Amino acid sequence: MTNFIYVLAVTQVWKPSEGLIYFLLVIGAFLTAGVALSILTFYEDCYWGDESYRKVLKEGKKSSI
């Protein structure tokens, strides 16, 4: 056990390369853009293009119960 602790104390801190950092940045940008595009297309298709859906959201569901 003491040898393991010694090895941990002696090893250097791992620094990722710039290429890995840029790769993760690009993947994060694509993921963010995909989520934004998904939200935009939902509002465009299901909200702005559907007048009856907007009316139900605005007035609420009318029921006789």
The domain locations on the chain are 17-58
State the alpha helices, DSSP H only, in 1-65.
2-10, 18-42, 51-59
Which amino acid does the sequence have at 4? F
Residue 9, pLDDT score = 59
pLDDT tens-digit map of 3-61: 666 665 556 667 889 999 999 999 999 999 999 999 999 888 777 777 887 788 788 77
Counting beta carbons within 10 angstroms of the beta carbon of residue 62, is it exposed (0 to 12), middle (13 to 18) or buried (19 or more)?
Answer: exposed
Q: Which two tokens stand for residue 58?
A: 């605005």
